[in-house]
Amino acid sequence: MAIVVERKKLGFFERLYLPQIISGLWITLKNIFRPRVTLEYPDQAPVLPVGYRGAPTLVKDSEGREKCVSCQLCEFVCPSKAITVTPGEIPADSQYAFIEKAPAEFKIDMLRCIYCGLCEEACPERAIVLQNNFSINGASRAELIYNKTKLYAEGGVLPDKIMKWKRVKDNAELEGGSH
Amino acid sequence: MENEKVTVNINGCNYEVGAGLNVLEACRSVGVEVPFFCYHPKLKVAGSCRMCLVTIGTPARDRATGELLKKEDGSPEISWMPKPAIACGTKVSQNMHVVTDSEFIKSCRESVLEFLLLNHPLDCPICDKAGECKLQEYANTFGRGESRYIENKNVKPKKVMVAGKIMMDSQRCIECSRCIRFCREFIGRSTFSFTKRGSKTEISVYPNSDNDSNYLLNVVDGCPVGALTEKAFRFKMRTWFLKVTDSICGESSAGINVRVWSRNGKIYRITPRRNDAVNDMWMTDSGRYIHYRFEAKNRMSVARIDSSPCDLGYAAERCLEILKLGKVAIVANAWQSVEEMFLMKRLADACGAKIYMISHVGADDGKLLSADRTPNMRGAFLTGLLDSYPPKDFKGLGAAIDAGEVGTVLCFREDLKDFGLEQKQLKAANIIYCGALENNISASAKICIPLRTEFEKNGSWVNRQFRIQKFNMAVQAPENTFADIDFLSFLLSELEGSHFDAPSAEDVRAEMAKSIVAMKDAVHIPASGLPLDSSQFASVDFPEEDAMHYSRQKK
């Protein structure tokens, strides 16, 4: 069953169109004198809000120790399967040998990453952090699979307030244990 | 006696459970979970973890007359034990009452876990046991969630290597004593022991003694926490990434039931699977590394004719042409599944070939490593490939080649050169080599057909007890390899003039059930295997000695 919709007749001023044009131009005029919101990217850099989720990176603690212990929880939680961790053992001659485990290789495929931040949330060591870099580009696909070296170069140092492993070591020395 | 039942009231419901069971097993048999660390179904009860505490009551009796007391409503009066008891160390009795879900029991579990976690390091991110750790699971299910402990944790030795294959971390140990009991009861020699006292108690190994045994790695599976971890699997992969496939160990005719753990086509480890009729819950250490055989660089990856690579289908067709020339000998092996052997027998009949097999015999350890180092020699008897135990070498085949009776050898897996054939005999015959790995004869063979390993196909093997057991495909086969069944049925269909369609292992078993009497029930094989009738092979002289769940006389 068809519904008949009554079409209203236009009034005199509506048929003129001029009032509409004038009101539209008034909005344009107002905005000419307002501050600009567009950005001349890439000449101008945007100001990013706190907690911005850019590229995931690996970070070191203030002693320069790599924080990742390759538990692979980020790999497990990653919804786009961008992360591949190859676990490895810390060599016996390292001063951090008591931590036992560190990644032998750590790869993030930036083409697959969706910047959801679940890896950062899952990380028990706060070793993987989404930082401010949003401009990720390369000349080939292979270049955009970041390896461990690249991820640490991007990540830098994140000062650690808790220093969990230092406590473990200090306790072991205090108790005369064999760490 | 075994089938005797008693009535036990668990959490207010009456259940019929087997007499002689302990309360823990009785609860599990009716689906009531009782958490435990130190109890192990195949070891003696130690009762050291106190995790399985339950409240137990028995019908009250009059002290003077010994008669059962009744309540006013006629139901039996229950006298409850004043304190909780361990479920693993208490046997069920008629009309016993058990409570596992009261607030009191919950607080017991919470407190036990709090004690166990006092000195347990919270290093789950680096612990290989994480994901299959009982302490982790129970702390999550029954624990109180947060720690009240602010003192420093005890420090105990970490990273202690045991017999070159186990990493021991005393700090993670919860003193359940399963490893101690396993070594004493199964291996028959003490390897681990507790030292020191109280909260300083730690697990240690006997110093300056040879602790090695071919069964030592079972303590790793038994360890409920990450105190004992396998060196070969250390930091290789987290367990939750691994796909588990039920399989059978191909190391010997014991037919140990195993689980294969793999990820993305790579096998990471092999662990035992419980089968009370075959291997209980144990397996050999050597069987755990059997997949290394196929990870080797000498995997045959492409079909070859006269040493030049070619298409797999073309190689198979050329193979067929040579077989049609006649004077064929087939070399079978006892790593092939029963299904493949059945097709092989038909192939031999179709082209009038004689079948040659050899035995691979090693030392019998009287447990789970049997003298026959092939998993399916009994299958060869059942399918009619053999009627007497095969010799140790191919001298018979060599003589047949010398006499000009054999012009083509269709060889599966076996290395003819290592087992008695001379160079000139190998030259005199057309060798068609089919196998997963390269060997001494594959380089000079006329045609090479790459086949799949036992981890890449489905099938079944018949172990020393004449029990048929199924193994499943754990990892995807590489490209350009033939499943043995497909290859054999292709040859068969061409020789017998039927239409070729790749059958599944189950299809072949259905076919087999029709023609082999002993196999008539073996189409759908249950996970625990199926014992077959072996009476017709009672006279065969098998090399295995008496061992776990196996005796020679029984045949």
Task: Name the token pair of A171.
Answer: 């306790």
Select from A75, A125, A177 the Cβ nearest to the Cβ of B156.
A177
Query: What is the per-residue pLDDT across B137-191, written as a single tens digit (0 to 9) for each?
Result: 999 999 998 899 988 889 999 999 999 999 999 999 999 999 999 999 999 999 9
Q: State whether CATH 3.10.20.740 applies to domain B5-101.
A: yes
Is residue A5's pLDDT more than 70? yes
CATH 3.40.50.150 fits A56-174, yes or no: no
- Please compute the mean of the pLDDT values over residues B227-237 and round it to a whole number: 95
| Beta strand pairing call for B408-412 and B328-331 | parallel
The answer to whether A76 contacts B125, with C-beta atoms less than 8 Å apart, is no
Model confidence at B553, pLDDT cuts 50, 70, 90, reads low
Question: Average pLDDT over chain B, rounded to whole?
Answer: 93
pLDDT digits (tens, 9 = 90+) for B522-551: 999 999 999 999 999 989 999 999 999 999
User: Across the interface, do B130 and A175 touch by the CB < 8 Å criterion?
Assistant: no
The per-residue pLDDT for A49 is 94
Evaluate whether B511 touches B501 at the Cβ level (below 8 Å). Answer: no
Question: Within an 8 Å CB–CB cutoff, is residue B499 touching chain A?
Answer: no
Is B160 an 8 Å CB contact of chain A? no
SS3 assignment, position B286: helix
- Predicted pLDDT at B236: 95
Over residues B415-442, mean pLDDT: 91
Q: Which residue has the tokens 């625990």?
A: B528
Q: Which two tokens stand for residue B310?
A: 């070619």
Task: Looking at the complex, report in whole angstroms how far the Cα of residue B177 sits from the nearest Cα belonging to chain A.
Answer: 23
Is B128 exposed, middle or buried, given 0-12, 13-18 or 19+ CB atoms closer than 10 A? buried
What residues of B are in contact with residue A73 (Cβ under 8 Å)? 125
Spatial contact of B5 and B16, defined as CB atoms under 8 Å apart:
yes
DSSP helix/strand/coil, B113: helix
Q: In chain B, positions 11-50, which contact chain A (CB-CB < 8 Å)?
A: none
What is the pLDDT at residue B444? 87
Name the fold adopted by B119-137+150-239.
Alpha-Beta Plaits (3.30.70)
Residue of B nearest to A84 (CA): B237
In a mutational test of the A interface, the residue from B160, B172, B235 whose CB has the highest number of chain A CBs within 10 Å is B235
ipTM: 0.86
> B394, B331 in Cβ contact below 8 A?
yes
pLDDT at B385: 94
Which of A100, A124, A172 minimises the CB distance to B155?
A: A172
pLDDT at residue B452 is higher than 80: yes
pLDDT digits (tens, 9 = 90+) for B330-343: 999 999 999 999 99
What SS3 class is residue B542? coil
Q: Is the Cβ of B121 closer than 8 Å to some Cβ of chain A?
A: yes
Q: Which residues of A touch B (CB under 8 A)?
A: 69-73, 75-76, 87-89, 98-101, 124-125, 168, 171-172, 174-179
Locate all alpha helices (DSSP H) within chain A, ordered by sequence.
12-16, 18-32, 73-77, 118-122, 148-155, 164-174
Say how far apart CA B50 and CA B107 lie, in whole Å. 13
The fraction of chain A above a pLDDT of 90, given in percent, is 78
Q: Do A71 and B125 touch (CB under 8 A)?
A: yes
Which residues in chain A are closer than 8 Å to B126, comparing Cβ atoms?
69, 71, 99-101
Q: Whole-number mean pLDDT of chain A?
A: 92
- The pLDDT, as a whole number, for residue B211 is 86
Size of interface A-B (CB pairs under 8 A): 53
pLDDT, mean of residues A22-49: 93
The amino acid that residue B281 corresponds to is M
* pLDDT band at B554; cut points 50, 70, 90: very low
Sign of CA dihedral B131, B134, B140, B141: positive
A75 chain-B contacts, CB cut-off 8 A: 241
Coarse DSSP helix, strand, coil percentages of chain B, rounded to the nearest 5 percent: 25, 20, 50
Predicted TM-score (pTM) of this structure:
0.91
* Banded model confidence at residue B499, pLDDT cuts 50, 70, 90: confident
- Split at pLDDT 50, 70, 90, the class of A177 is low
Q: State whether residue B236 sits within 8 Å of chain A by CB.
A: yes
Question: Residue B232 in contact with residue B167, Cβ under 8 Å?
Answer: no
Contact status, residue B523 vs residue B502, Cβ threshold 8 Å: no
Q: What is the pLDDT of residue B294?
A: 87
Q: Decide if pLDDT at B311 tops 70.
A: yes
pLDDT at A176: 67
Is B411 buried (19+), middle (13-18) or exposed (0-12) by CB count in 10 A?
buried
Cα atoms in the 13 Å half-sphere on the side-chain side of B468: 25
Task: Check if the beta carbon of residue B337 is closer than 8 Å to that of residue B355.
Answer: no
Q: Quick one: pLDDT at residue B58?
A: 94
Q: What angle do CA B52, B56, B62 make, to 5 degrees?
A: 160
Q: What is the pLDDT of residue B1?
A: 53
Report pLDDT digits (tens) over B5-36.
999 999 999 999 999 999 999 999 999 999 99
- Give the start-end residues of each E strand in B106-185: 160-162, 166-168
Structure tokens at B439: 């060997």
B266 CB within 8 Å of a chain A CB: no
**Structure confidence at residue B486 as a pLDDT band (50, 70, 90):** very high
pLDDT grade, residue A170 (50/70/90)?
confident
* Domain residue limits, chain A: 56-174
What's the rounded Cα separation, in Å, for the pair B482 and A173? 59
**Tens digits of residue pLDDT in A106-141:** 999 999 999 999 999 999 999 999 999 999 999 999
**pLDDT tops 50 at residue B555:** no
Query: Where in chain B are the domains?
Result: 5-101, 119-137+150-239, 304-554
| CA neighbor of B356 nearest in space, from B300, B305, B412, B318 | B412
pLDDT tier at B2, thresholds 50, 70, 90: low
Shortest distance between the Cα of A36 and any Cα of chain B, in A, equals 50
CATH number assigned to the domain with residue range B304-554, chosen from the 4 options 3.40.50.2300, 2.40.30.10, 1.10.260.40, 3.40.50.740: 3.40.50.740
Contact assessment for residue B257 and residue B245, using Cβ atoms and an 8 Å cutoff: no
Average pLDDT of span A50-56:
94
